[in-house]
Amino acid sequence: MLFFSIARKKYYNRTLDNLLQGEANYSIFLTGSFFTDSLYLIDYFYRKNPRLIVEFYDEGTISYFNEENYLFRYGQHEGVKQSLIRFFCQGKFKYNYKRLVKGIHLYAPQLNHVMPKLVTHGMKRINENEICQQLLESVGKGIEDVHSVWYNKRNVLFFPPGRLKGYEDNYDKTYEILSAIIEAVGARKLIVKPHPTMIKQDPKKLQEFELEGIYVDNENYLFESNYEQMELNKKIFILRNSSIALNPKFMYGKEPFVIFTFRLYQYYHQNGEWKTERYASDLMSIYKDKKRVMIPNSIRELQEMVSNTVRSLEGVESNAGYER
């Protein structure tokens, strides 16, 4: 890994030299955090301009619901050996360049808990920013039209997480939750959009649910590029702690129904989930209709919330858009 990190830094330096042809005197570097290869890029541009300023931008839940200074982490600590290697390869950059960070750009600056000491800048919504809107549309051009058809036809969206270290409880419980949703409203009202890691980890299991009539969206793409074609205020997002629930409100000012499932997992009862509790609370605080954000404490409550919300939408739409 040490050799790989050194080689990667040299690769970035060589690529940027060839790309910029000496025109590298930039004054501001924007990045989501320090725990990516952005440290190598900061090092490159700082050497070209010692007056470089670094500013963070909105990176979803990690920008809002974490410990202070979380964005300065430069990698996951997977053991003593890995930690030492990361420290020698990237740690010196972190400590040298932390002082360069002066600000953070957020869609909801009033929710800045992670970096309150930085100058906080508000970001325009996507639909108020012509350049960002064009970029999002260009990304969406490569997406199959079939997605628009399904997302217009079905309003219950379940976002299962992948299996992560420390969250081993999520596998069986996630499928129990999915089965409970099917029991409550039927498979033919449901779309499952798994996390990219879950697509790789468990493709056969997801295919089993597809046979029951669920539409499983297995394609790996920027999900937000669907938003222009969706009636977001008529969607029901069911998730554990994904950033996906933030973006309709942040990017478009829309308020889909959001049902958080984190209290249904064993991890919550053993360790608590203060970050996700804050996430749900803060999302509720910026919603005009607070009742659209829900947190069930049991599978039965989840089923009642989903079925009641579906019935309310069907009443408004006179059953249009749903399959029987």
What are the φ and ψ backbone dihedral angles of 291, each rounded to 5 degrees? Answer: -70, -10
pLDDT band, residue 116 (cuts 50/70/90): confident
For the domain covering 144-317, report its CATH number.
3.40.50
Q: Exposed, middle or buried, 112 (CB in 10 Å: 0-12/13-18/19+)?
A: middle
What span, in angstroms and rounded, lies between the C-alpha atoms of 108 and 236? 22
pLDDT given for residue 221 in this prediction: 82
Q: Is the pLDDT of residue 320 over 70?
A: no
Query: Global pTM?
Result: 0.85
What is the DSSP annotation of 191-244?
Answer: EE---HHHHHH-HHHHHHHHHTT-EE----S-GGGGGGGS-GGG-EEEESS-GG
Q: Is the pLDDT of residue 321 over 60?
A: no
pLDDT given for residue 323 in this prediction: 41
pLDDT given for residue 90 in this prediction: 57
What does the mean pLDDT of the chain come to? 85
Find the mean pLDDT for residues 268-297. 95
Helix, strand, or coil here: 122? Answer: strand
pLDDT band, residue 167 (cuts 50/70/90): low
Find the mean pLDDT for residues 217-229. 84
Q: Specify the domain boundaries for CATH 3.40.50 within the chain.
A: 144-317
Beta bridge partners of 55: 30, 103
pLDDT given for residue 212 in this prediction: 76
What span, in angstroms and rounded, lies between the C-alpha atoms of 246 and 258? 10
Residues 240, 161: contact at Cβ < 8 Å? yes
Find the mean pLDDT for residues 290-317. 94
